Amino acid sequence: MTGVLRPGHAQLRVLDLEKSVHFYRDILGLVETGRDHLGRVYFKCWDEHDHSSLILSASDSAGVDFVGFKVLDAATLDRLEKDVRAFGLPTERLPAGDLLETGERVRFRLPTGHLFELYAEKTRIGNGLPKINPPPWSPDADRGMAPTRFDHCLLYGPNVAGNKELFVKVLGFNLVERILGPEEAGEPEIGIFMSCSHKTHDIAFVEYPEPGKLHHLSFRMPTWERVLRAGDIMGMNKIPIDIGPTRHGVTRGETIYAWDPSGNRFETFAGGYEPYPDSDPITWTFDGFAHGLDYPQGKLHETFLTVVT
């Protein structure tokens, strides 16, 4: 793996910071790793080694401030900054330390209106396990739902085609799956699932009239059984569920979607398949997408399609 490596972090706007800290730390089961002078709170999943993958920021509106991906090294960051500028997007350099334990970041606004950033350095604090003869899990792996990593995000906004061109031609992502619009509209791609690794998706975009919207942040669970256990924990804590437990046709993922206390949607996700970079993209037609969303029921859930933050 070279170039862009993987999802790194997302900063989420929340309405009640301490209520949200309780949710993400004690119910979802993330590990709190720091707080900064702006009042932001940092978390990571138990099996992540870098300092943080989720940052909570108090706000009067829910949603996502920015999403960041980690790149191979500083030379790669410099090269990609030049390539993004050549593509036609202005970039901004944010200094090391602007986020706790994080190096310089290159930020730019995507055609869909989202703030996206790349970085090469973040302090590694480990997963609580030794590097020699480690056990298979740490004590943090049994708190709350205990996801293993921040896996991907789905973002809504206009000009998905512009995002596809940027991510494929400049950032080196592969198109893994796509959703076509109605035939009478000429069947443009209204949804794209892209990977910089061998996952079914590291990031996805869906066409939407308003820019910069968050559909969900997804947290990886090690097994389908752990997704079901997460559903039990949601029920015990009266967490409102949007969809699931069910299985997607798109990506073959096993899933539950629910809402955090601010109304931001999150996903507990397992399964999927592992495409190689030379795999052909899978296409879902508009009339087949009901099974793409919810394969067992073949149902287009209204809230899933319309509620964003």
User: Shortest CA distance to 178 belongs to which of 166, 165, 164, 167?
Assistant: 164
Q: What is the CA radius of gyration of the chain?
A: 19
What amino acid positions are annotated as catalytic residues?
A: 152, 201, 216, 248, 257, 267
Q: How far apart are CA 138 and CA 148, in angstroms?
A: 11
> What DSSP element (H or E) covers 140?
none
